[in-house]
Amino acid sequence: MSGYSLSRWRQRWLIAPIIVANVPSTLAQGQFENFFQGWDSIIKDSLEVNCSKELEGYKNNPSAKWPVVDCILDDFSESRKAEGAAAALTFGLAPMVLQNIGPNTSETSLLFMRRPLLALLIAISSPWPRNPDSKVYDKIVKQPTAMNQPEVQSDEWSIWPAENNKPIGMMVLFVEYAMALGAAANVALLSYQLGHWAFFASANNTYDPVLFTYCSLLIHLVGIFSMFLSFREPERTGGTNWFERWLVNEFRPAAQNSPLRLTRRKKEEVWIPLRLLWKPLKFFLTWLLSIAPTLQVLMGTIMLSGSLLTAQVDARDCLFRYIASTIVARALLQYELSCLTRKDDTTESQANSHEKTETGLSTYTLIGKPS
């Protein structure tokens, strides 16, 4: 057995130099092979006829990419170069536009408390999140409770679908995940295409657009962690474990679930290793979330505005694809939050009772101060 293992290790050491020797050509694959449709045939003809020597040098040494770019640009007319500059401007507008219409970290964190999988898909679909909005929580805190509300005030519009309409609920669930998966897949595919089909002056590798895209997911995860440090769901009654509760909540539209109820977390309820750092960590995360989305927009603008080999029509299509995913994410999030933060009319009518709902959630304010 030991002899067999030793022979396998020897084989690996013999193969290793071959792999290392082929790393440059492996890294060179994916760039200067395919381009967006607008200039695909034009650039390929230029590479084949006038820039074959530079392209061969790039395949042997991936760091020698600029001679290839210079050769391609030398073949371009002045009008085509001007179109490339307009495409770079279109790309540069994307981060700011998407941040203005996309969700913020406070909203995705709130949805994560009830439907984490859907919240993560929405976060992936929004490459440039907005800064946290404290008004999301202020509105919930200021919502009148059943104890001080003089009379029942129902919502201005009834939720849809109704709780007893299970077939429509399943249809809504399917449409939600289909739209969320489609939006997330569109962003993932677009980030891959930008890395392999386009060329950016400030991107050193083909995977840089992917890294910039999914930095936003990290920002949302920081917001979720900050949310868990500050709030928690009340204790639940019953024998169901956390996995069963997650399945029930995740695969049920918010309109057919109970409203979300949260309470402020006390220091004693924090995980013991974090208690000493609880307040400093909260302050640090608040500061980090206040600047991270802006830095994400800044770095995204710097990267995308360095586009060199993309036509204006392709840059416009990429921008519209980004916007489409962000609009879908915004619509799904708005629908879910409007149902999660609704008032429970059946609970408000019981002003003097202290009962819990079937899921064990508090029946008063969405976020209440601890007693």
Q: Are 109 and 150 within one domain? A: yes
Residues 104 and 133 placed together within one structural domain of the fold: yes
Question: Residue 312 and residue 80: Cα distance in Å, rounded?
Answer: 10
Same domain, 128 and 273: yes
Q: Are residues 157 and 291 in the same domain?
A: yes
Regarding whether 335 and 299 lie in a shared domain, the answer is: yes
| 121 and 68 in a common domain | no
**Strands (E) located in the chain:** 231-232, 262-264, 367-368
Domain boundary among 76, 106, 131: 76
What pLDDT is attached to residue 155?
Answer: 46
According to the model, what pLDDT value does residue 343 have? 66
What distances in angstroms separate CA 292 from CA 90, 252, 287, one per listed residue? 23, 32, 9
Last residue of a domain, one of 42, 76, 110: 76
Residue ranges of the chain with pLDDT lower than 70? 1-30, 134-160, 235-240, 267-274, 343-371
d(CA 359, CA 264): 19
Does residue 16 sit in the same domain as residue 88?
no
Mind listing the pLDDT tens digit for each residue in 116-137?
999 999 999 999 999 887 666 5
For the chain, the domain total comes to 2
> Is the same domain home to 22 and 98?
no
As a whole number of angstroms, the distance between CA 301 and CA 298 comes to 5
Q: Tell me: do 70 and 22 sit in the same domain.
A: yes
pLDDT of residue 12: 40
Q: What is the pLDDT of residue 249?
A: 87
Does 338 share its domain with 241?
yes
This prediction's pTM: 0.78
Structural domain boundaries enclosing 34: 1-76
Residues 58 and 35 grouped into a single domain: yes
Task: Choose the final residue of a domain: 39, 54, 76.
Answer: 76
Write down the pLDDT at residue 145. Answer: 44
Question: Same structural domain for residues 93 and 182?
Answer: yes
Cβ-based burial of 160 (10 A; exposed 0-12, middle 13-18, buried ≥19): middle
